[in-house]
Amino acid sequence: MYSLSVISYAITCVCILLAVAFFTLLERKGLSYMQVRKGPNKVGYMGIPQPIADAMKLLVKEIAKPTMVNFSPYFIAPIFSFILALVMWQLYPSLNALGYFKLGALFFLCVSSLNVYGTLLAGWSSNSKYALLGSLRAIAQTISYEVSMALIFLFPLFVVGTINFFDVVEFQAPLWLVFMLVPVSFVWFATCVAETNRAPFDFAEGESELVSGFNIEYGSAGFALIFLAEYANILVMSLFSSLLFFGGGFIFNASADFLLILKVLFFSFIFIWVRASYPRFRYDLLMSLTWKGFLPFSLAALLIILELLFLINY
């Protein structure tokens, strides 16, 4: 029975990798249409095999190790980030999951907090000033937005009164929480964009200042793993946005699964749309947004929610 679960999880991981690969194609196609230019269209029919060609190109390239890097953490960092991105998908209680987490919300906070260590290891071990500066900026940004994200994450949990994702989704059967928590859902999504280091908050990869930031010394398979981890995190944050505020799925039938896929695609496409629409922030404005904007708002709104729940229950 356990071997079947492992095989099922391996199939799930392969499906996740394929989803990430073709999400990159969706992003390149979407950006090209939004910016009125040509996207990938040379490889195969309409450029559809382009992600497979890119993956093959990166994986068959020779792994070059810069002379002065710290060997072990340099190679561990991409693998660590990639494993964390895959572990996050186990929180969704699908039929292919290895286990079911009754305390899934706590596990989500723990794993999402560990993502910063992959960036820290990659920037420090590369022994490059550009990689180090990029990792320091990414660490400050990720930790800052982790605080407001954790507080906003508590809103649906407190409203439902559970830390179980299954109960959160069941509670939203008659009415999605987004209709009760409209401002909170907008702040949540903006925090997700910053947490995943996406434009306009992509200061960890500021090409104009840092020559691609913390991953500048990586190529071939190492760069591919960092790239896959970043886009897998985008998809998993889109998944949890749909679970927490838009009803999710969990009914295990074709219509519910199709609806959940549409929700995840919708949020994923908004990531692309935001990248195409807005220029990069200044870094001081980015940090001011979370400490002077999102954090006071989330604390005040959370206090109001708790007071209302206290009055309703007692």
88 assigned to some structural domain: yes
Query: For residue 98, is pLDDT > 80?
Result: no
307 assigned to some structural domain: yes
The set of residues, in sequence order, having a beta carbon less than 8 Å from that of 69 and lying 6+ positions away, is 125, 126, 127, 217
104 assigned to some structural domain: yes
**Number of domains comprising the chain:** 1
Q: How many residues make up the chain in this entry?
A: 314
User: Residue 289 is which amino acid?
Assistant: L
Neighbour count for residue 141 (Cβ, 10 Å): 23
Alpha-carbon 188 to chain mean position:
12
The boundaries of the domain holding residue 95 are 66-313
Q: What is the pLDDT of residue 273?
A: 92
Q: What is the pLDDT of residues 221-251, one digit of tens each?
A: 888 898 899 899 999 999 889 888 887 665 5
Q: Does 200 sit behind a cis peptide bond, omega within 30 degrees of 0 on the bond before it?
A: yes
Q: What is the pLDDT of residues 137-153, one digit of tens each?
A: 888 888 899 888 999 99
188 assigned to some structural domain: yes
The set of residues, in sequence order, having a beta carbon less than 8 Å from that of 246 and lying 6+ positions away, is 172, 176, 177, 178, 263
1 assigned to some structural domain: no
Question: Which among 270, 273, 268, 288 has a CA at the least distance from the CA of 141?
Answer: 288
26 assigned to some structural domain: no
Query: For residue 109, is pLDDT > 60?
Result: yes
57 assigned to some structural domain: no
Q: What is the pLDDT of residue 45?
A: 84
54 assigned to some structural domain: no
